[in-house]
Structure 1
């Protein structure tokens, strides 16, 4: 009798609104408890269930409950860690980031636009371009500029208007301050101006563009 009642109860569990959209072949902890109670309520008083069997079923219920709670705790932890990581990334704003870039690409004789961070106000300066053979092929004179990320365009041509060969050209910059001291600017190093998240990945705003956080070689405190 108990088996038929349990079978009926099991079938009813599979057709309740609570299980819509879930795998009806899998019992959750509440279903398991309901079946255990039905089994106990409908047992034959003259031949009650074996105590060991009841303890085993109770143990299974406890294990199922613990597993459910553990899964929920892990989900909560994952969400918390993800949120914490995003907040930690935001604290990078204002710090300096090195992208590891040292050169600009020249292709098809087209001008090259690039950003260069100046760590202080300058009175004058020079940006040089060096081929992958180590030859200085061109130099760009710059006038007074304010501290910060500045934008430049290199034509990529010699004095006769002939385009240099396609390839990567190392960028180096030196300058003089209004006070008469000299300094250098490191290409590929910028202050982080903002942080955004695209498809769950953090991106840093440096100069006129955004780069994935994974592209950062080093992040450090510096005067920006």
Structure 2
């Protein structure tokens, strides 16, 4: 994944955990209340004020459970709405900050890279590494200030098609004095599908995935 799926997942999990805890508290409260009514001394009943307080606590607990159920419904509706929004990206090219793309088993590269330079460079060295950190390709890139696109054909420096997996691009730009120039790397690809993972909408770029909140640029 280009962007880690965290925010919506943690919210949904928290809501479910809270509902489960409240349900357990609710059942325990009812059991204690019933036991109290069964076992109180008719000649010395439970203090009315205390009993009323317990009933108020019971009512509050019941309302809190109902609120949590409605919250789960709202989260589900938001997830469905977000998925519908994701469908609008189908066929479009999206871009997100990141340096890793995927190559399928047949050698198909699911995305390209874009790197942005803080200023014009004298030289730009590009290095592609596999999941184990092994360098598979090295070369030079465009030196213009701003956005530069780099499309890889999925082949190593010897011209052999690489194995399927994740590959990372490293950009090292320097000026005429050899001073490093800042750079930011992005991945860019066409949306081929939309899915929902734990309530989070993910745009599919082949075997890659980008969450909606990670998108930094949209193109036709």
Q: TM-score, normalised by structure 1?
A: 0.43
- Larger C-alpha radius of gyration, 1 or 2? 1
Higher relative contact order (CA 8 A, sep 6+): 2
